[in-house]
Amino acid sequence: MCFGEELEEISSIFPVSTPSALGYRLPVWTKTNGDIIIVDESSIVDSYVQHKASKKSILLSLFVFHAIQEGNLNARFGLEDAVACFFAAGFSKDQTLLTSRMELYTTRYPQYEKEYTAIQTILARLNEDATDEKALSLLIAHLENSFALTADTHGIFSLDLSQINPELADAVQSKETISTYLLHHLLVLDACGLFEEN
């Protein structure tokens, strides 16, 4: 199958030409009708704002999305996996992955600074005592209250596209990803008519 035929199948595509998405490999979802869905950070934030999900949290949702995107977290994960990912080495040796990411998010989304402070407080308590049950339960509550994250009865979390767009309720995450650079080039070539039959 040539790229042109594949490109036509990419429907309901969310914007990927944002600085936040450049250089990443985006997770791909497929619908039962064969549509291929691509989600990026901007689509999550835009949906969060559009649905006025003010009672939900957004920063851990973004962290989980990026952790899945970069292969640091499985699409379905338990609390132990999440905590291990949160405390993994970050961009600098003095910071955890979650702390590094949170600092980027507060620069990009200063309106969520209050949420950032609450997460930092929980992390500080867990840094002092990893078995602090109250801090762990606060972290679980924060995950459960995060936009577009759901947990099953066994406490396994996953990214829920139906919260981002109800029409994507039947979408299932594929093991495949797509490079944003490749996608940009394909969209430009398609716009130039390279894939037209004539």
Q: For residues 107 and 148, give the distance between their C-alpha atoms in angstroms, rounded to a whole number.
A: 22
Quick check: 14 pLDDT over 50? no
Quick check: 58 pLDDT over 80? yes
Long-range contacts at 6-9 (CB < 8 A, ≥ 24 apart): 6/36, 7/186, 7/187, 7/190, 7/195, 9/34, 9/35, 9/36
**Lowest-pLDDT range, 14-18, 52-56, 159-163?**
14-18
Residue 61 contacts residue 149 (beta carbons within 8 Å) = yes
**Lowest-pLDDT range, 50-54, 62-66, 136-140?**
50-54
Q: Provide the token pair at 70.
A: 């970069």
pLDDT value at residue 147: 92
pTM of the model: 0.71
pLDDT value at residue 95: 78
Quick check: 17 pLDDT over 50? no
Quick check: 132 pLDDT over 80? yes
